Chains A and B, each alone.
Chain A
Amino acid sequence: MHIQIKDVRKVFEGRGDEKVEALSGIDLTVSENEFVAIVGPSGCGKSTLLEIVAGLTEPSGGEVLIGRDPINGPHPEVGIVFQQESTFPWRTVLENVEFGLEMHGVGKKERRERSLELIELVGLQGFEGRYPGELSGGMRQRVAIARTLVMDPGVLLMDEPFGALDEQTRLILGDELLRIWSRTEATALFITHSIEEATLLSDRVVVMSARPGTTRKVVEVDLERPRDSSVVSTPEFGRLTGEIWEVLREESMKTLKGQERGGS
């Protein structure tokens, strides 16, 4: 299942009089089974773009296709993991993962089986009966990932799922994610603010410009798969991250300057 993003634009009729132009003409195609990461300065419209692909936000212009279907609402083949904490604190890990299946009327036995399988895949076996409040932030995000993956989506969208964690944990969870993803064969679109994480995970890294967001540069990551976080120390990895940082630095400076001028 591939994603086609065609000239997608978004203007928020925002709070107050001023309009916020979040995205100005994004074009991007993610092929079947490809892993694409998006990096960009904060506030450049990354989350907006992802939510448009997920059918949660309506674009002001352009269109998104999932496979052959134009998107105008949540698509059954698309799963999304959010930047914010999104597990249900009143449900156990197992009940969280079962949630989507339960809502769609999957029988108790089948949904339990599939959920346990995913809990194992994300490495949370032994924690099925725990509540999210008893887990660490990284474990909670893995619950959220399992809750999305259990629906067996052809397209997996992730919005800085490990954004709140420290760099080491993030790289280690990146390893986990690579392992999980290689088993699911989903097409993945992944947002992060970490250049290392983007490079480690993806086949291509898209660098977005400062707001209004456009694609500034696309960097091919030709590190061989399967890979893990040990590639971080290779010269090739350093060259790639350097290349990304060069562009990202420029865009981030623009964002900073804009803020200092008072137009946050």
Chain B
Amino acid sequence: MSFGAKVRLTRWAVVLAAIAALEVMPRIGFGDSITLIPLSEILPELFEMIASGEMTEHLLATGGAFALSFLLAAVTGVPLGFLLWRYKPLKRTLDPYLTTYYAIPIFAFYPLLLAVLGFNIWPIVFIAWAWAVVAVVMNTAIGFGEVPQVLTKVGKSMNLSRWQTISRIFFPAAVPYIFTGLKLGMVYSLIGVIASEFVLSTRGLGYLVSYSYVNFTTAAMYAAMLLILALAILLNWALGGIERRLYGNV
């Protein structure tokens, strides 16, 4: 068996073992039976909640806030990154602040936003956007900055206009980086949305987890957790697939 095949096989074995542990541990009485529920009992609960429409409202709320915040991050982040690359002094000025951005507990701003904007979707969208946008900005700026000089020279030698150079050479060359930024942005805005909903909100999958926790409806809580993790894993997996294809072509 080749090294790669052995690696993949072992990786799947590890993942399956972890899933099996989630099933078996509650059954053999690890923890008490109220707080830990085997996977096979969570799944029917989840399907039941989806089928009965109980989940729909929360799914839509989370999906909406996620889509909105990510779109905002993309629409603002890419142009900002481009601007940062075009105006080097601006980039150099902000660099130390951008590199420490993710060190600050961004989420501490959520209560503040709640107090300012009220208990609606906007504090959630705002915090998720703030979490995501800097990753998009930085990767876009890096992507444009990493375009090899020889490509610019190729453009010059062909007498391309400034706009042509940007749209035909810089932009395509920077696409893999921009995509990485967008991918991180997506992951971050999902985390931002779920965290906000969980801590303080009135709807959404994160809210469902905390609501069920507070009300001791443990099965519903696990169902919501499972759905969140499943969606996140699916998202990462899809993005990873696209990225591999994108980088494979470069």
Is B249 an interface residue when CB atoms closer than 8 A count as contact? no
Chain A residues with CB under 8 Å of B1's CB are 16-17
Is B3 an interface residue when CB atoms closer than 8 A count as contact? yes
Is B157 an interface residue when CB atoms closer than 8 A count as contact? no
The closest CB in chain B to the CB of A15 belongs to B3
B interface residue count range (under 10 / 10 to 19 / 20 to 34 / 35 or more): under 10
Identify whether the interface residues of A are mostly helix, strand, loop, or mixed. Answer: loop
Q: Can you give 7 A-B contacts (C-beta < 8 A)?
A: A15-B2, A15-B3, A16-B1, A16-B2, A16-B3, A17-B1, A17-B2
Closest 7 CB pairs of A and B: A16-B2, A15-B3, A16-B3, A15-B2, A17-B1, A17-B2, A16-B1
Mark each residue of chain A from 1 to 42: 1 if its CB lies under 8 Å from any CB of chain B, else 0: 000000000000001110000000000000000000000000
- For the complex formed, measure the closest distance between the CB of A14 and the CB atoms of chain B, giving whole angstroms: 9
The closest CB in chain A to the CB of B3 belongs to A15
Chain A residues with CB under 8 Å of B2's CB are 15-17
How far is A17 from B3 in the complex, measured between Cα atoms in Å? Answer: 9
Mark each residue of chain B from 1 to 19: 1 if its CB lies under 8 Å from any CB of chain A, else 0: 1110000000000000000
Chain A residues with CB under 8 Å of B3's CB are 15-16
Mark each residue of chain A from 52 to 79: 1 if its CB lies under 8 Å from any CB of chain B, else 0: 0000000000000000000000000000
Interface set, chain B 1-56, CB cutoff 8 A to A:
1-3
How far is A17 from B2 in the complex, measured between Cα atoms in Å? Answer: 7
Chain B residues with CB under 8 Å of A15's CB are 2-3
Chain B residues with CB under 8 Å of A16's CB are 1-3
How far is A15 from B3 in the complex, measured between Cα atoms in Å? Answer: 6
- For the complex formed, measure the closest distance between the CB of A18 and the CB atoms of chain B, giving whole angstroms: 10
- For the complex formed, measure the closest distance between the CB of A71 and the CB atoms of chain B, giving whole angstroms: 29
Chain B residues with CB under 8 Å of A17's CB are 1-2
How far is A16 from B6 in the complex, measured between Cα atoms in Å? Answer: 9
How far is A17 from B6 in the complex, measured between Cα atoms in Å? Answer: 12
How far is A15 from B5 in the complex, measured between Cα atoms in Å? Answer: 11
The closest CB in chain B to the CB of A14 belongs to B3
- For the complex formed, measure the closest distance between the CB of A17 and the CB atoms of chain B, giving whole angstroms: 7
- For the complex formed, measure the closest distance between the CB of B4 and the CB atoms of chain A, giving whole angstroms: 9
How far is A48 from B1 in the complex, measured between Cα atoms in Å? Answer: 24
- For the complex formed, measure the closest distance between the CB of B2 and the CB atoms of chain A, giving whole angstroms: 4
How far is A16 from B4 in the complex, measured between Cα atoms in Å? Answer: 9
- For the complex formed, measure the closest distance between the CB of B9 and the CB atoms of chain A, giving whole angstroms: 14
How far is A17 from B1 in the complex, measured between Cα atoms in Å? Answer: 6
- For the complex formed, measure the closest distance between the CB of B21 and the CB atoms of chain A, giving whole angstroms: 31
How far is A180 from B3 in the complex, measured between Cα atoms in Å? Answer: 44
How far is A16 from B3 in the complex, measured between Cα atoms in Å? Answer: 6
The closest CB in chain B to the CB of A18 belongs to B2
- For the complex formed, measure the closest distance between the CB of A235 and the CB atoms of chain B, giving whole angstroms: 42
The closest CB in chain B to the CB of A16 belongs to B2
How far is A17 from B5 in the complex, measured between Cα atoms in Å? Answer: 12
The closest CB in chain A to the CB of B2 belongs to A16
How far is A262 from B3 in the complex, measured between Cα atoms in Å? Answer: 19
Interface set, chain A 138-181, CB cutoff 8 A to B:
none
- For the complex formed, measure the closest distance between the CB of B185 and the CB atoms of chain A, giving whole angstroms: 34
- For the complex formed, measure the closest distance between the CB of B116 and the CB atoms of chain A, giving whole angstroms: 49
- For the complex formed, measure the closest distance between the CB of B6 and the CB atoms of chain A, giving whole angstroms: 9
